Structure formats: C-alpha cells, structure tokens
Structure 1
Amino acid sequence: MKNRTNITKYKMLAPLYDMFMGNQIFRKARQQAFSEIDSKRRDSILLVGVGTGEDFPYLPPLASITGIDLSPDMLRIAKTKKGNQDINLMKMNAETMDFPNQKFNVIVLNLILSVVEHPEKVLERSLKYLEPGGTLLIFDKFVESNVKPNLIRRALNVITSAIGTDINRDFDVIKSNLPIEIQKQYQTVSGLYTIIVAREAYTTNDISV
C-alpha cells in the first residue's frame, strides 16, 4: 500500500468505516485490547491512526489523549465523538510523526501497522515517543511468524489490499531490527486479530549505575 493512495481510499471508506468496524464483535475486541493497559487516570496516551475514533469509549476518562491520522475525512468523524474527553486530534503521517520534547505513557497502534506503507517506520517512531517503561499496545491482523499464508488468505489479501489493508504482514519481521520486548501476545476474533502488549527493550548499557 502507498500512503498517498490510502488518503484517497479512506476518503471513500470514512463514511462506511463505522458500519464495518463498529460492530459488536470488533467493539468487544477493542475493549479486550484496552483492558491490557495498566493505565493511570491521568496518563498521556497517543493513538496512532486514530481513524474515526472508535477507541474513545475505552480510554480512561481523565487521560490526556492525542490522536493522529493521515486522513482528514477520518479525523472529521473522530472529532464528533470526542465528547468531554481531553482529546487533541492532529493530521499527521505516522511514519514521520514528530512530537518535540514530548513522551507518552501509552502508545496505541490499533489497525495501523497493516495499513501504512512502511510499518517498521511507524514502530520505530512510536518507540521514540514512548516514555521509558511505557506501554505499547498493538491490535492488528498479522500472519503467524515464518508461516506462509494459506491460499484463501492470500486471495482475500488481494481484496483487502485494494481497500488499504495488508492482512499478510508478519509482526516479527516488522519489529526485527527494533528494541521491543513483548510482554503479552495472543489472538482474538477467532484468530483473525492479534493483541500485543510490549515495551521498549533495554540493554545493560542503557541502565546507568
């Protein structure tokens, strides 16, 4: 997928997105993912690829939330769901996101690594803006590591890629050159989606004595 063409795709998909991704099954899966966060009430949370704001109901009510997305059409819908929550929405490319002098307690990558052109860049930038000891929450479609997708999945990926989602990405490949420590990883929605809780990995050289 190309980021440039994804803007066009999501302009068309934005009005229909909640119809497909806002159903009870996906809402339950989102709730399950957010239940993995040991979030304090006033944590700063970054939603990378905030989309139409479907994650908002599962966020701590007093947390300081920043949501970024490449699609202005998605952001317009998300804006209508903010309510009284402290949510700052910004148009920004996840691959080049920039938050000078700012770190986040929690960074959420929900359904974004399967969409962007270079998922490893998004993961790298996320680690840059995650505070030491902070939580990285990932919810997405990944294939089993080192296992070739079956024929049905490869055929389905032709369709999903056309609308902006690659369902055949391997998370182990995406993170292969990055300092990530996975704390928990399991599948949900009948094995179609994966929930990952991780943090930046530190070596003994990173720890001052």
Structure 2
Amino acid sequence: MKNSSNIAKYKRLAPLYDQLMGNRLFRKARKQAFSEIDIKDGDSLLLVGVGTGEDFPFLPNTNQVIGIDLSEDMLKIAETKAKGRNITLMQMNAEHMDFQNQMFNVIVLNLILSVVEHPEKVLEKSLKHLSPGGTLLIFDKFIEPDKKPNVLRKVLNKITSAIGTDINRDFNEMKMGLPIEIQKKYQTLNGLYTIIVARESHTANHISI
C-alpha cells in the first residue's frame, strides 16, 4: 500500500464509501467497538483516518474531537456530518501526524492500519500523542497471528488492495517493539474484523495477545 496511490484510490472511492462501509452491519460493528471504551466528559478524542465520518454518531456531542485523514475528498464528506458538533477536521498524513505537545485521552484507529503504507509508524505516533492512562480503540481487518493467509484470502487481498486495503496484515507484527498493552481483543462481523482496546504499557513485561 502506497500513501501516494491511496490518495487517488480514495478520491475514486469517496462517493461510494458510505454505500460500501455505511451499511447496517458495519455501523453495528462500529457501535460495538465504541461500547468497549468509556469516554468521560472533558476527554479529548482523535480520530485517525476519520474518512467520511462514519464514527461520528457514536461520539458524545460535548467532547472535543479532532479527525484527520489523508484524503481531501473523504474529509469533504465528513464535513457535512460534522456540522453542529465539536469536531475539527484536518488533512494530515497519519504516519507524520504532529500536534506538538497536544495529548488525547482517546485515539481511534478505525479501518486505518490496513490502509496506510507504514502502520507501525501510525501506532508509534498515536502513542506519542496519547495521554497517560489514555485509550487506543482499533477496529480493522487483521490476519490471525502466526498464520499465513490461505489461497482465497490472497486472492481477495489483490482485489481489496486495488481499492486501498490490505487484509493480510498482522497486528502483532505492526506493534512489535512498541509499548502497547492490549486490554481487549476479539473478532466481529463473522471473524472478518477485529476490535482491539489497548493502552500504553509502562512495564517491561507488558501483555501481548
């Protein structure tokens, strides 16, 4: 996956994205993911790879939210859904995101780690901007650890990669060497997608699932 080519891919995909990823099943899975975390009044949220704003219905109206995305076309659609809410949208490369010293209580990485060119960089940057005790929420397509994709999955990946998504990525590989402690991890949508709740680990022997 190349970030440069992803811009072109998502320019073509943007008008169709909500039809593909905004159906009842995906919205139920997104709602399920957000139900796993506790967002308190005053918590600041960062949505990395905000896309067309499909996560907005599951966010509190009172909290400060920043959403970033590489695709200007996706952000234009998200802007129409952000009206009347405390949401700021920015065009930014998630691999190089920089908010200076700003920290966030909750960072959401929904359907982004399977898209970016270097997902480990996105995780590293997310940890940099995660407040102490803060929460990472991840909803994406990952292959089971230590399992090689079967023939069918390899064929499907050629199709999904053409529209900007790699379905054969291993989350354990991308977090290797990073102080990430997984608190919850389970599959949804018939095992095709994974929900992960994690935080920064401050111990030498952090949990690895």
Q: TM-score range by the shorter chain?
A: over 0.9
1:23 aligns with 2:23: yes
Assess if the C-alpha contact under 8 Å between 1:145 and 1:172 holds in 2: yes
Q: Counterpart of 2:81 in 1: which secondary structure?
A: coil
8 Å CA contact retained: 1:41, 1:61: no
Q: Which residue pairs with 1:160 in the alignment? A: 160
CA distance in structure 2 between the partners assigned to 1:39 and 1:28 by the alignment:
18
Corresponding letter in the other structure for 1:118: H
Task: Give the secondary-structure state (helix, strand or coil) at the position aligned to 1:121.
Answer: helix
- CA offset at residue 81 of structure 1? 0.1
Deviation of 1:37 (Å): 1.2
CA distance in 1, matches of 2:61, 2:37: 14
CA-based RMSD of the aligned residues comes to 0.7
Provide the C-alpha distance between the structure 2 equivalents of 1:40 and 1:83, rounded to a whole number of angstroms: 22
Matches within 5 A, 1:106-125: 106-125=106-125
CA positional deviation for 1:177: 1.1
| Alignment-derived partner of residue 99 in structure 1 | 99
Greater shift after overlay, 121-130 or 35-44? Answer: 35-44
Structure 1 residue 76: Cα displacement: 0.2
CA–CA distance in 1 between the matches of 2:170 and 2:192? 13
For the residues of structure 2 that align with 1:42 and 1:57, how far apart are their CA atoms?
18
Residues paired across the two proteins, number: 204
Gaps of 5+ in 2: 205-209
In the TM superposition, what are the counterparts of 1:46-61 in structure 2 within 5 Å? 46-61=46-61
Indicate the percent of aligned positions where both proteins have the same amino acid.
73
TM-score, normalising length from structure 2? Answer: 0.96
CA distance in 1, matches of 2:38, 2:188: 19
**Which runs of 4 or more aligned residues in structure 1 lie more than 4 Å from their structure 2 counterparts after TM superposition?**
none
SS at match of 2:114: coil
Give the C-alpha shift of residue 188 in structure 1: 0.2
Counterpart code for 1:40: K
Residue aligning to 1:85: 85
2:122 maps to amino acid: V
Task: Give CA-to-partner distance per residue, 1:69-102, whole Å, 9 cap, x none.
Answer: 0000000000000131100000000000000120
Secondary structure class of the residue paired with 2:6: helix
Conservation of the 8 A alpha-carbon contact between 1:46 and 1:104 = yes
2:2 corresponds to which residue? 2
Equivalent AA in structure 1 for residue 48 of structure 2: V
| Contact 1:110–1:138, Cα closer than 8 Å, also in 2 | yes
CA distance in 1, matches of 2:129, 2:31: 24
Structure 1 residue 61 displacement after superposition: 1.3
Q: Counterparts of 1:84 and 1:45 in 2: how far apart (Å)?
A: 17
Paired residue type of 1:61: N
TM-score between both structures, scaled by the size of structure 1: 0.96
Equivalent residue, structure 1, for 2:171: 171
Q: Distance in 2 between matches of 1:141 and 1:79?
A: 26
Matched residue SS, 1:195:
strand
| 1:95-152: CA deviation from partner (whole Å, max 9, x where unpaired) | 0000012000000000000000000000000000000100000000000000011111
